[in-house]
Structure 1
Amino acid sequence: MTGESPAPPITRVVIVGGGTAGWMTAAALSRLTAAGVSVTLVESDEIGTVGVGEATIPPLLDFNRSLGIDEDAFVRATQATFKLGIELVGWGRESDRYIHPFGTIGRDAEGVEFHQIWLRQSRLPGAAGDVGPIGDYSLATVAARMGRFARPSSDPAAVLSSLSYAFHFDAGLYARFLRGFAEDGGVTRIEGKIVAVEQDPASGFITAVKLEDGRAIGGELFVDCSGFRSMLLGGTLGVPYRSWQHWLPCDRAIAVPSARAGAAPPYTRATAGKAGWRWRIPLQHRVGNGHVYSSAHLSDAEAEQVLLEGLDGAPMAEPRRLRFVAGRRERLWDRNCVAIGLAAGFIEPLESTSIHLIQSGITRLMALFPDSGFAQREIDEYNRWLVREYEQVRDFVVLHYHATERDDSDFWNHCRTMPIPDSLAERIELWRGKARIFREQGDLFTEDSWIAVLMGQNVIPQSFDPLVHALPVAESARFLQHLRHVIARTAAAMPTHEDFIARHCAAVKQEAA
């Protein structure tokens, strides 16, 4: 066979920026050091990190496991608690409250999807229609309401196998934890403030970053983890930012930690307000709180007042204010630079996807890791996958705002009536007919996630799958009653969330200074 010789392998990788994105990337790339690749992370202590991603979703377990991280050690080191889902308060109507759970809802029967069976039965009169809310058939929802937690069973026949979970953790402690892992794996950290970026005059490829003290850190592949500044991809290579603010109007956030008041629930809470929403994230040592809002509908001072008045415990620091525009870079990989984290894009933290999108970028980079030839076809494939994932996550978050009956403020009137992406409009239309929902290739959120939010926000289908008629009504009623009972009994037998942590992974309490 004849052909061109393959390009030499990359031997120098430079990560610009620390924080969660930088150190997750460094931890994953540390495995390359055994093959002779130098991995260097450059960060400045003068530049703070955003750290809004204290709540996570289940795929993070795969990332930690891929690194060989002991889960209990990780939980202790990051003051973490467990998360079975997110409670959404006031999103459909002001009085509404539902949980978007992790794991599955119900169990299919005779090839018919569970939610179709539930829909048919819920519309029947008498005892057959007395099925209760759909959340009663989710172990994660029932356990979360009871304040209970256990890890899933590996036995697929067990109800406990239907459970999934994630974490709430201190993002700063997670970055520190991963820094130790990465440095132990051979990653070099350089402290310094970048003042210039050097490029090859012919190709525009980045060749080095220059520090304030005159040092130049050269590399062949550069990973931009510089946060909203997007120093390399946006600032140096000029890749434009595509705003989604017309669909996601919130552009401000205020964050403040507070003292714990009572037991930590195993779920995140997102409470909708007049012009946005407030998060509550319980950790072992404190509670993370924040207010995400639209500056066009609420002043910074009013937003801070709403946040502070809603705290369950005393504030432990001064509130931090953040500005952002929801959206993404047109390309997330350009030439020899890949942007990961906020440097690539930002979809507000409503469904805790920020850390997942970091993870997804890292996973795809490892799958398409280049040689020094930087094949354009591989770069295009990376961009195709990541852009699609950003857009799928965007649609799921936009759904929360658009699927509302609230008309108590200009903000909600805008969200309820605004045009939405065609891809989301098509999903909603298909659902409204016969409750059909299909997970697309690479879609982060499962059918159960879509069902939980659509039903939780009162998007009720006109009908249901005709195949349900093949199941006898009385038999379906007994099936639902039994399943509901088993789930309630299983949840009640689980340890409390607090007891589980105390038994397995309680952090060492820090003495007050």
Structure 2
Amino acid sequence: MADFIDPIPQVPRINPNAHLILNEADEVCSWVGGEAFVLEGIQPSIIRKLLALIDGVRPLERIYAELADSGDRNYLNEIVLALSKLDIIEEVVTEAAPQNHRWDLPIVSKQVGQKAIALLGNHQLLNTLAKTFAAAGFDNRRTFYLKNFASCQTPEFRALGQERILVNGTSKYLSSLAPTVYQDSLDSVSISGLSQLFKEFDFVVCALEGVPFQALLDVNKSALASGTPCLFVTASQETALIGPTVIRGATACFGCRVITLEGLPPVFEDIWPQLSTPIVAKADSGILSSVAQACLEEAISLLGPTLTPIRATSVLKITEEGDAYGGLCLRTIKRLLPSSECQECTPRLDEPLGVIERSAIAAAAEEIGRIWPNSPKAAIPPASDAYQTVGILGGGTAGYLAALAFRAFRPDIKVTLLESSAIPVIGVGEATTPELVKFLHSPRFLGLDIVDFYERVRPTWKLGIKFQWGLPDDYEFTFPFQRGRLLESLLYDSTLNNQSLGAMLMSADRAPIFDRGDGTPLSLLHQIRWAYHLDNRRFVRYLREEAIAAGIEHIDVKISDAQISADGETITHLITEDGRQLTYDLYIDCSGFRSLLLEQKLGSKFVSYQDTLSTDRAIAATVPHNGTVKPYTLAETMNNGWCWNIPFEDADHRGYVFSSAFCSDDQALEEMRAKNPGMGDPWVVKFRSGRHEDFWKGNVVAIGNSYAFVEPLESTAIHTIVLELELLLTNFPASKRDEGVKSVLNRKMSDRWDALRWFLGIHYKFNHRLSTPFWQAANRDTDISGAIERLALFTERAPLSYRNSLFYPLHPPDFFSDDHSYDTLLAGQQVPARFMEPVEDPATWQRQMAILKGLASTAMPQHEALSCLREKRQDLLYDFANRRDSWLHTWLPA
């Protein structure tokens, strides 16, 4: 991994904004930039000696020499490497001279300039604030240098810090600086002394750096006691937080901010008052002038004619992340209201309210007015007859995903999975959609470790589906998961295959990992939507192991029957082959096509989709490939149906989906062998397309094939399992008596499956690639009555996705209900339509194409990219899962 880790600093110093702390288990923990990590296997005694020698002067070799008797050099080097990677230590650099970051400085009126302002600090923020307020015309200001706080000098406070804090970068940095002389210096600061001082002023700005958080709490108490508005500022050279302006009885206080925004890990809760606030260690940091500007704006607004604080209910975050022009990024990160957990402030509604207090309360009321109309996600109180136990009948993908989902969403319910090891797992390749990626790895769902998943399951990437479909001869089109400019690609390039970078990568047989040109990869996994191709055996084995590790009870048993109640509406118990009775509050039927509980025992009627989807057989086999792992599922038109190709690193998994009404198994096998020389031993899977009338009947919920199945086209099997589980568990009833939710779930689930039926139907209705009896019948007879309105709108003015949808208010309920999906399939099969005006003009489109094609030309083949990420660059997988702008967290297009 040495090709991407920063080199070890040769003359190291402690990062001024870093902490190393011992937790209660005597483990060494780091805290830098709001992130905490445990450093396993490091002895506290060794690290204390090491940190004592890191002073920004000694070279690393000299430090190693002085510690020769304390440990093996390789062990010390591993510690230094870890400290460097976590930004605890850094290379000593020569700092540039301070820069003048200028903006149009407002000049205050004489009346406002005479308001009494106190500026509190101890380092560069104080210097910058003093100069800025002076230049703006605040003549009645005083600058106070605060040295020590009495509460931070008590024996108990100091002892806890010495015991638990191994290194405090801020205090070490400040102690190395020459003392600064200020006109007003306060030593041994107390709450009572500050409270008296604040009463002399109209406004206070607290900009202390590198002091214990306890010191800011003391300032907070003083502001609350005196009633003087006080603005709090903390900053490092990269990030600053400005706010709130604490106004007694009206706003959140600094303690509320810590609870709500600081993000302190639970392991630090007992010691956070001893931890130091950040510090601006670089005199040339552009963040200084931006902080001063924000503080000045607050002072002018609060002390000016309107007497209205800007930061009464919010905190401004300023981040030094250069944009295209090298500027600073400013944004309000979160509205802040008083926290019920805060012990520092309490409402004081019995006191007379001045103008400033009334303005602050009005701002808080306005914020509450914004929050309350939003639909609250309130917790439902537990009921005496709540579901306590769930029995899942059947393993496989549906059963194990259901078990893991119940454990993630409802850990209070005891889940038991029942399956027989005598029933083999079918080793077919499985294509999926991005819905599964989200469900597996997003922390909002299962949150399974993505690197571990790649090591154990070895998936390949699927960027979409390539269709050899629609028109005769060698015509084909791509259906990428990444949305783009469909109309421009069609009109200007006469193809859908340029509508997005994802589509281009599909055409080029490349992955969303790019070669920078220096041997290192660039990942766009977070931007280009993708799914998995999965080997079913490896995937089910992984899910089983994860379920057992999660503590889900697993019983290897064959269920021979189930007893129903006298009224025939519920299951009373399951009956095992050896005669045992197993009883649960709720049964999840994952028994596959036989639908043992839902259909056979409770009698839920089957609603056939035969008039729309006439295929009912699939022949599957493994076929060798030429070494190219294609980044898509192939759908190839055949005489009596179509053939899938799901690529893996060792071979392709192929499957011929056909109608037994038009050919026999032997005829289909003969056609498939002719298309796929070297094909392995095949197996036949029989299926029926349709759904049951009930998703939830009595005390049975059916998941997967036991409820519904269409056919393999569009890879919907696991996709719908995930959607069923999401809908069920995000709307799970609190009581067994809650019947209304069951009725709504039944309707919504049947609507989703029917919508999928109509979407798949248009694949058959308009595919004119072959003119065999099967395809003539499909073109003539396929029922797409549920898609007629969409088809009419498309032919009148396409694409549908270029205008407001008439089928959903904002987001489609499902990927296959999306207007863009209909656009791609209808346009791809060249269904006649009148087109809207393109968004991009031809010249702009060609320029954009040149950029995307240039990037696509640097993309890596999939087998190389997967090998790189599994063996060397696992961090790129974690980056995809963790970064906020990853499609993983909101994958459906707006």
- 1:203-214 to structure 2, matched below 5 A, reads 204-214=569-579
| Residues 251, 293 of structure 1: 8 Å contact kept | yes
- Residue 768 of structure 2: aligned partner: 405
Distance in 1 (alpha carbons) for counterparts of 2:871 and 2:737: 46
Choose which of 568, 590, 606 in structure 2 pairs with 1:241.
606
- Matched residues in 2 for 1:248 and 1:492: separation? 39
Pair 426,93 (structure 1): closer, same or farther in 2 beyond 3 Å: farther
1:98 matches 2:467: no
Deviations 1:339-384 (A, max 9, x none): 0010011111110011011001111111122344242111112112
Letter of the 1:131 partner, please give it. D
Equivalent position SS for 1:242 = strand
1:27 aligns with 2:434: no
| 2:416–2:553 CA contact under 8 A, matched in 1 | yes
Alignment partner, residue 510 of structure 1 = none
Question: What is the CA distance between 1:259 and its match in structure 2?
Answer: 3.3
Which stretch of structure 1 is more off in the superposition, 351-360 or 253-262?
253-262
Q: Is the CA contact 2:564–2:573 (under 8 Å) kept in the aligned structure 1?
A: yes
In the alignment, what sits opposite 2:851? 486
In the TM superposition, residue 307 of structure 1 has moved relative to its aligned partner by 2.0
Structure 1 residues 162 and 62: alpha-carbon distance in aligned structure 2, compared to 1, 3 A threshold: closer
Matched-pair contact (CA < 8 Å) for 1:93–1:404: no
Q: Secondary structure at the match of 2:815?
A: coil
Tell me the alpha carbon deviations over residues 245-287 of structure 1, each in whole angstroms, 9 at most, x when there is no partner: 1111101111112334322111111111111011111112332
C-alpha distance in structure 2 between counterparts of 1:159 and 1:47, whole Å: 41
How far apart are the structure 2 equivalents of 1:171 and 1:374? 38
- C-alpha distance in 1 between matches for 2:709 and 2:772: 25
Separation in 2, partners of 1:5, 1:464: 54
The unaligned stretches of length 5 or more in structure 2 are 1-380, 515-522, 873-894
Q: Which one of the candidate residues 780, 785, 788 is aligned to 1:417?
A: 780
What secondary structure does 2:841 align onto?
helix
Match of 1:464 in 2: 835
Q: Which runs of 4+ in 1 moved over 6 A?
A: 158-161
- The answer as to whether partners of 2:513 and 2:865 remain within 8 angstroms in 1 is no
Secondary structure in 1 aligned to 2:787?
Answer: helix
8 Å Cα contact 2:433/2:716 also seen in 1: yes
In structure 2, the residue matched to 1:285 is 650
Structure having the higher Rg: 2
Contact 1:73 1:505 in 2 (8 A): no
**Distance across 2 between alignment mates of 1:484 and 1:104:** 15
- CA deviation vs aligned residue, 1:43-92 (integer Å, no higher than 9, x gap): 11223455656000111111102212122322332231100111111343
Match of 1:375 in 2: 738
Deviation at 1:151, TM superposition (A): 6.2
Counterpart amino acid of residue 443 in structure 1: D
3-state DSSP of counterpart to 2:392: strand
Quote the offset at 1:199 in angstroms.
2.4
Query: 1 CA distance for matches of 2:421 and 2:526?
Result: 44
> What CA distance in whole angstroms lies between the structure 1 residues aligned with 2:545 and 2:570?
31
Match status 1:46 vs 2:422: yes
How far the C-alpha of 1:159 sits from its partner, in A, is 8.8
Which SS does the other structure have where 2:795 is aligned?
helix
Aligned pair count reads 472
* Partners of 1:12 and 1:221 within 8 A in 2: yes
CA distance in 2, matches of 1:8, 1:225: 25
Distance 1:160 1:372 in 2: 42
Q: CA deviation at 1:27?
A: 1.3
2:865 is the alignment partner of 1:500: yes
Contact 1:137-1:484 within 8 A present in 2 as well? no
1:257 and 2:622 correspond = yes
Aligned AA for 1:85?
G
What TM-score comes out, normalization by structure 1 length?
0.86
SS at match of 1:364: helix
Alpha-carbon distance change, 144 to 460 in structure 1, aligned in 2, over 3 angstroms:
same
Deviates more, 1:86-95 or 1:380-389: 86-95
| Contact 1:270-1:278 within 8 A present in 2 as well | yes
Question: Secondary structure at the residue paired with 2:430?
Answer: coil
Tell me if the contact between 1:239 and 1:331 (Cα under 8 Å) persists in the aligned partners: yes
Partner of 1:308: 673
- Residues 209 and 99 (structure 1 numbering): CA distance in 2 closer, same or farther, change over 3 Å? same
Correspondence for 1:81: 460
1:263 partner SS: coil
With normalisation by structure 2, the TM-score equals 0.50
Q: In 2, are the aligned partners of 1:85 and 1:100 still within 8 Å (CA)?
A: yes
Q: Give the drift of 1:403.
A: 1.1
Q: Distance in 1 between matches of 2:748 and 2:390?
A: 22
- 1:444 pairs with 798, 809, 815, which one? 815
Find the residue that maps to 1:505 and give its secondary structure: helix
Distance of 1:271 and 1:494 partners within structure 2: 26
Residue 459 of structure 1 and its aligned partner are, at CA, apart by 1.0
Aligned to 1:341: 704
Q: CA deviation at 1:421?
A: 3.0
**C-alpha distance in 2, partners of 1:364/1:307?**
39
Q: Which residue of 1 aligns with 2:827?
A: 455
* Alignment-derived partner of residue 276 in structure 2: none
Distance 1:75 1:254, change over 3 A: same
Letter in 2 for 1:68: G
Q: In the alignment, is the contact (CA less than 8 A) between 2:478 and 2:497 conserved in 1?
A: yes
Q: Give the structure 2 partner of residue 429 of structure 1.
A: 792
- Aligned residues of 1:250 and 1:294 also touching (Cα < 8 A): yes
Aligned to 1:356: 719
Partner letter of residue 452 of structure 1? Answer: T
**How far apart are 1:311 and its partner, in Å?**
2.3
- Answer whether contact 1:10 1:371 (CA < 8 A) is retained: yes
How far apart are the structure 2 equivalents of 1:82 and 1:214? 46
Q: How much does 1:504 deviate? A: 1.1
Shift of 1:132: 4.1
Give the drift of 1:328: 0.5
Q: Provide, for residues 126-153 of structure 1, a one-character-per-residue CA deviation record: whole Å limited to 9, x for no partner.
A: xxxx53423213211111122211269x
Structure 2: which amino acid aligns with 1:96?
Y
Q: Check the 8 A contact 1:225/1:343 in 2, yes or no.
A: yes
Residue of structure 1 in register with 2:440 after alignment? 64
The structure-2 alpha-carbon separation of the partners of 1:498 and 1:181, relative to structure 1 and needing over 3 Å to count, comes to: same
Tell me the CA shift for residue 93 of structure 1.
Answer: 2.9
With over 3 angstroms needed to count, the CA separation of the structure-2 counterparts of 1:86 and 1:228, relative to structure 1, is same
Aligned residue number for residue 728 of structure 2: 365
The 2-side partners of 1:52 and 1:328 are apart by: 23
Q: Secondary structure at the match of 1:54?
A: strand
Taking a change above 3 Å as real, the CA distance of residues 134 and 88 of structure 1, as seen in their structure-2 partners, is closer
Report the CA distance between 1:404 and its aligned residue: 2.1
**Alignment match of 1:227 (pick from 579, 592, 598):** 592
Distance in 1, matches of 2:469 and 2:382, equals 61
Measured in 2, the distance between the counterparts of 1:192 and 1:6 equals 32
User: Is it true that 1:142 corresponds to 2:142 in the alignment?
Assistant: no
Q: CA deviation at 1:329?
A: 0.6
**Kept in 1: contact 2:612–2:758 (CA 8 A):** no
Say which is worse superposed, 371-380 or 48-57, in terms of deviation: 48-57
Deviation sequence 1:398-445 (CA, Å, 0-9, x none): 111111224521111111111523221221111111114245341322
Change (3 A) 1:350 1:81: same
User: Is the 1:341–1:358 contact (alpha carbons within 8 Å) kept by the matching residues of 2?
Assistant: yes
- The 8 Å contact of residues 393 and 444 in structure 1, kept in 2 or not, is answered as no
CA distance in 2, matches of 1:260, 1:414: 33
Question: CA–CA distance in 2 between the matches of 1:32 and 1:419?
Answer: 40
CA distance in 1, matches of 2:550, 2:604: 32
The alignment partner of 1:493 has SS state of coil
Could you tell me how far apart the structure 2 residues matched to 1:393 and 1:207 are? 34
Tell me, in whole angstroms, the C-alpha distance in 2 between the residues paired with 1:314 and 1:5: 56
Match of 2:583 in 1: 218
**Quick one: structure 1 residues 217 and 240, their matched pair in 2 at CA, closer, same or farther if it must change by over 3 Å?**
same
| TM-aligned CA distance change 1:419 to 1:495, over 3 Å | closer
